[in-house]
Amino acid sequence: MRRSGKMRRELESRILSIATRHLIVKLAQSGIAPNSLTYAAFLVAAAASILYALSRYSATLAALAGAVYLLSALLDGLDGQLARLSGKVTKLGGFLDSVLDKAAEILVCVGIALSGLTDHLSPLLFCASSLYVSYTRARGEGVGVDLSGIGPAERGERVLIITAASLLMPLHQDALAIGLYVGAVLSAATGIRRTIYAARTLSR
| Annotation says 97 is catalytic | no
Catalytic residue among 76, 79, 97, 101: 101
Residue 92: how many other CB atoms lie within 10 Å: 9
Cβ contact 69:123 at 8 Å: no
- Would you please indicate which residues are annotated as catalytic (active-site) residues? 101
